[in-house]
Structure 1
């Protein structure tokens, strides 16, 4: 799977980054079926990765500024599972989070795509478009991170990312909505269960210490 420029203008175009970023962000949010359905099924990873990292870094900077200004104590939570995994690699310090965002974001996106591709093979079957296509969905749905920093509103709006992820998996792999939903929601539910167990354990430990 190579990393290179896309031969198509359907996705993010590094040769025209500013205009392409705005156009792609708009189409992902407003026309997800058409956008993901029209993405080239090539092995290009660089363009979608750069798009995703711009979203992650912008979110980290704006969220970090809110923390430094005392508006919020922690960066906002993005319930989109495509964003949840990258978030786990971010430090809790606002400044460190900003500096670490590109590295943590890249690692998280690759991990998220790998997990979802495994589920694609299990749920959709071997007749799928491969890791690169799943990686594109994981990358382009990072657009929801752009509103992740907005207190209260951000997490609510970011729930739309679940829909975008399901549409992306469905369109790019040519599967059903039900199977795509399983691919997207299984990691989310696993993370949710682990978080609940962890919180329960912390609460139990603190109560015993008291």
Structure 2
């Protein structure tokens, strides 16, 4: 199951089209194990980066945390990251599959789950690197589009729509939530007056 793990990592980074073709008939259980192992690696490496405050964003966030609780906070972040990542896997897979069905994908939910698992490779493998890690997350979106195209046997355009529409909706909801929060704070504190 994990004997070809390093080779899969390399192939999903360097040649994702071929990699998805190779796992098309693979087991969704293998994909989930791959995803969880990668998630644990990512969570631990992110925890280490956070512990040493290498990431400038995390330095600001941690500046208000009492010194005695920082290590506990870091360990809890790792655990929450793993649990949240597993729950997120299923939620993302189900939502993505809804849009795959809308664009005409007919190869089944398991193929979408495999796409989600393997497309996480760039973001999980290299996304923990401060500042530039976000580039690998964006590359993961491209890999996700390739995965949906190959595993659901739809065109690149349809795969792009299936992947991007939920992301656009998510970012829209995040922007609305932030705006709501800002307006609520302004209204509650009377800052604008």
Structure 2 counterparts to residues 152-171 of structure 1, below 5 A: 152-171=131-150
TM-score (norm. length: structure 2): 0.83
> Cα RMSD between the aligned structures?
1.8
CA radius of gyration, larger in: 2
Structure 1 residue 49 corresponds to structure 2 residue 32: yes
Structure 2 counterparts to residues 1-210 of structure 1, below 5 A: 13-14=1-2, 16=3, 20-41=4-25, 44-72=27-55, 73-74=57-58, 93-125=73-105, 128-144=106-122, 145-208=124-187, 209=189, 210=191
Match of 2:70 in 1: none
Unaligned runs of 5+ in 1: 1-12, 76-92
Shift of 1:45: 2.2
The count of corresponding residues between Structure 1 and Structure 2 is 174
Shift of 1:56: 1.4
Select the structure that is richer in helix.
Answer: 2
Question: In the alignment, is the contact (CA less than 8 A) between 1:45 and 1:135 conserved in 2?
Answer: yes
Partner Cα separation in structure 1 for residue 97 and residue 166 of structure 2:
11
| Equivalent position SS for 1:109 | helix
Partner Cα separation in structure 2 for residue 103 and residue 60 of structure 1:
10
TM-score (norm. length: structure 1): 0.77
Question: In the alignment, is the contact (CA less than 8 A) between 1:41 and 1:129 conserved in 2?
Answer: no
Shift of 1:148: 1.5
